[in-house]
Amino acid sequence: MNSIYYYSLFTVFGIVAFMIVVDKNVGEYILLSIKMLKINIERLKWMAIYHPNNPITTWWMNRKLKKFIKEMQARSETVQSE
């Protein structure tokens, strides 16, 4: 049963390899398609992480903002006391 699967994969990869040997543009197209897939995955990752409606992102940014405010308040208190 597995041999049919392996033979079909071997046939598909053999045809693609033959097309790459015959026409170099096929290889370049495959490489560009893989690069485009990687770029789209990165884009989706960035959209998920940094979207403003994401509650985790909102919490993280609020936490950073509160930390920055505390630092600025501590700085202003030390400057005023001097």
What are the tens digits of pLDDT across the range 47-59? 888 887 888 888 8
Q: Are residues 63 and 46 in the same domain?
A: no
Q: Are residues 75 and 57 in the same domain?
A: yes
Q: Are residues 34 and 13 in the same domain?
A: yes
Q: Are residues 10 and 39 in the same domain?
A: yes
Q: Are residues 35 and 58 in the same domain?
A: no
Structural domains of the chain, count = 2
Q: Are residues 36 and 60 in the same domain?
A: no
Q: How confident is the model over 7-61, as pLDDT tens digits?
A: 999 999 999 999 999 999 999 999 999 999 999 999 999 988 888 788 888 888 8
Residues of the domain holding 6 = 1-50
Distance CA 61, CA 48 (A): 14
- Single-letter code of the amino acid located at 3: S
Report whether 57 contacts 51 (CB < 8 A).
yes
Q: Are residues 39 and 72 in the same domain?
A: no
pTM: 0.57
Q: 24-50 and 2-22 helices cross at what angle (nearest 10)?
A: 110
Q: Are residues 19 and 36 in the same domain?
A: yes
